[in-house]
A = this chain, B = another copy of it.
């Protein structure tokens, strides 16, 4: 069983309107409610893949009750510890006439030390049956940035490998706790690196040639290309303590760095679609590969395909298995490290 931790889940409410009147009254043609937040998306994709998964975390108030009901209605096993605060809502207005979406994200509840302690006790017990742990998403306001590091240490004590997907201070401190994988996206990585890293001096590098258009030429531009910059920032996270770093690069796929291997996998281009939740689908693939001990080449291939399939799905956290199989056939993969070292 894979345990997925979601400390700050959300109830996602979507209103679809034709042409929104931003200074008047609108009557949405369509209202959609779903359980949201990165950890919830990961758990739902794992479930869609047929993986035994338990979602755990914190939920409170009537919105928390709605969240539990929506999870249960989708067959996701969830044990969310009760908190006094109200679980956050996200509210999306999809203007189908203009082709625009406005998103309004509530800040989420405060969590008391007692509430968190109760959650941690439950989590420690859940580790007994776990093959891997995924810690995903932001921390509730006011919760210590070391929270994920503490949970990773608990998992390590129980011999359960952990995957961490968050940003900022929580990512840096979490990486230092030695998880098997950290999986930031490019924006999270840059935001974290900007705060933490001193400007590095180029170490030089040799290009191994490229079999893909757009693949950065490491010799001439590695200091500036997104992929090379990601690789450098990822090295910092590995230096901090993470065994492996996987950076999701949007339509450029993902980059995986371990002490011995480095891979870049990228899917066929997907036209249109909804990129929200693609990184979470990739995280689900990596967690599945981690729990089942697959080789890294397999892990990143499947993760890239899951990311692409998630873009095809209209709603984050949902996955069509036939999209996944189709994407899998189109994924390209290459060893990456020699491109910039």
Question: Closest residue to A26 on the B side, CB-wise?
Answer: B104
A20 and B106 in contact (CB under 8 A), knowing A13-B91, A62-B62, A65-B62?
Answer: no
Contact pattern, A 101-139, Cβ under 8 Å of B = 1, otherwise 0: 111111100000000000000000000000000000000
Note all chain B residues with C-beta closer than 8 A to A62.
Answer: 62-63, 65-66, 69
A26 touches B105 (CB 8 A): yes
A31 touches B101 (CB 8 A): no
A101 touches B26 (CB 8 A): no
Question: Closest residue to A93 on the B side, CB-wise?
Answer: B104
A106 and B23 in contact (CB under 8 A), knowing A15-B91, A66-B62, A91-B13?
Answer: no
Number of copies of this chain that the complex holds: 2
A104 and B24 in contact (CB under 8 A), knowing A62-B62, A62-B63?
Answer: no
Note all chain B residues with C-beta closer than 8 A to A25.
Answer: 103, 105
A23 touches B105 (CB 8 A): no
Find residues 50-85 in chain A having any chain B CB closer than 8 Å to their own CB: 61-63, 65-66, 69
Tell which of B26, B69, B98 touches A102, judged by Cβ atoms closer than 8 Å.
B26
B63 touches A17 (CB 8 A): no
Question: Closest residue to A23 on the B side, CB-wise?
Answer: B100
The winner among A15, A22, A69 for most chain B CB atoms within 10 A is: A22
Note all chain B residues with C-beta closer than 8 A to A26.
Answer: 102-105
Question: Closest residue to A29 on the B side, CB-wise?
Answer: B107
B102 touches A24 (CB 8 A): yes
Contact pattern, A 183-198, Cβ under 8 Å of B = 1, otherwise 0: 0000000000000000
Closest 5 A-B residue pairs measured CB to CB?
A62-B66, A23-B100, A22-B102, A25-B103, A26-B104
Other A-B contacts than A25-B103, A26-B102, 6 sampled, CB-CB below 8 A, are: A17-B104, A22-B22, A22-B102, A26-B105, A27-B107, A28-B106
